[in-house]
Amino acid sequence: MVAPPPGSRTELATVSHPLVTLLLMMLQTRCAGCDAPGVAVCTTCRFALLGPRPRTTAGGVNASVAFTGRARDVVLGLKYRNRRQVARHLAGLVVNTIVTAGDLDVDVVTWAPTSAARRRSRGFDQGELIAGYVARQLGVPSRRLLERTDGHHTQTGRSRRERQAGVQFRVRPGVEGRRVLVVDDVVTTGATLRSARAALLGAGAATVRLYAVAATPGGVASMRRPTERRHAVADAAA
């Protein structure tokens, strides 16, 4: 085989192939919040994610940010535009909230699984991705402890009353005496995570703490001013 002439395009492409691949990957990566090229979450959107944070939301769920503005765009980028790289950034927000709350006595991290239909259409479960990064940063295992028993139904299009009824779960073996932290991406009414907590406690978990990346404005308001409750934002569909 004849070697390409020194300095030719063929030689440069052969020598710099890993660098070219990396460059192409960077060019294909775009910010989930504003679509800026080259990064999963740009500096502007990172600062936006550090904005005002709700503390405890509907149902006693600790949320890191309000589901508005750039934060909303970043979360939806993960859920609906396959921007999986942002899961690590969102997990960092959750870990910061956990540390601030002092909830570090955790044995295992799990998540509220999305519906089977959603998982098939997206090719992944965003809650699982976030929970995995949260567990890694806390130095504990991440395990799938919950299974939905409501078939293929999603939260999309459901009324607030239907959402309040929550999703039903069954618990996999191995939770007895464990201190469990449950992670979700967006909390609206808090019913899904409350149902997860009830199932885990019923299966023998020692403690169950609930955390979400973001809370819809309706979910936050329902805790701060019970007389001023508003309908939850439908975009937070599981």
In this prediction, residue 232 carries a pLDDT of: 37
Is it the case that residue 237 has pLDDT exceeding 80? Answer: no
d(CA 146, CA 199): 8
Q: What is the pLDDT of residue 106?
A: 97
Residue 150 corresponds to which tokens in the numbers above?
A: 């409501």
Q: Strand, helix or coil at 215?
A: strand
Tens-digit pLDDT profile for residues 137-157: 999 999 999 999 875 445 455
**What is the per-residue pLDDT across 89-135, written as a single tens digit (0 to 9) for each?**
899 999 999 998 898 999 999 999 988 888 888 888 999 999 999 99
Integer angstrom CA distances of residue 58 from 7, 26, 118, 148, 206: 64, 39, 24, 21, 22
Mean of pLDDT over the chain = 77
pTM: 0.72
First to last CA, the chain: 56
Highest mean pLDDT among 17-21, 37-41, 44-48, 86-90: 86-90
Output the CA–CA distances (angstroms, integers) from residue 163 to 79, 203, 238, in the order listed: 19, 23, 10
Between residues 12 and 188, the one the model is more confident about? 188
Domain boundaries, the chain: 47-236
What local confidence, expressed as pLDDT, does residue 213 receive? 93
**pLDDT above 70 (res 174):** yes
Residues facing 211 on adjacent strands:
62, 183
Highest mean pLDDT (candidates 11-15, 67-71, 196-200): 196-200
Identify the CA nearest to 118 among candidates 145, 91, 156, 75.
Answer: 156
Instruction: Please check the confidence at residue 16 and state whether its pLDDT lies above 60.
Output: no
Residue 236 pLDDT > 60, yes or no? no
Give the rounded percent of residues in the chain with a pLDDT score beyond 70. Answer: 67
In the CATH scheme, what is the code of domain 47-236?
3.40.50.2020
Q: How many CB atoms lie within 10 A of CB 189?
A: 27
The overall longest dimension of the chain from CA atoms, in Å, is 80
212 half-sphere exposure, CB direction, 13 A CA radius:
38
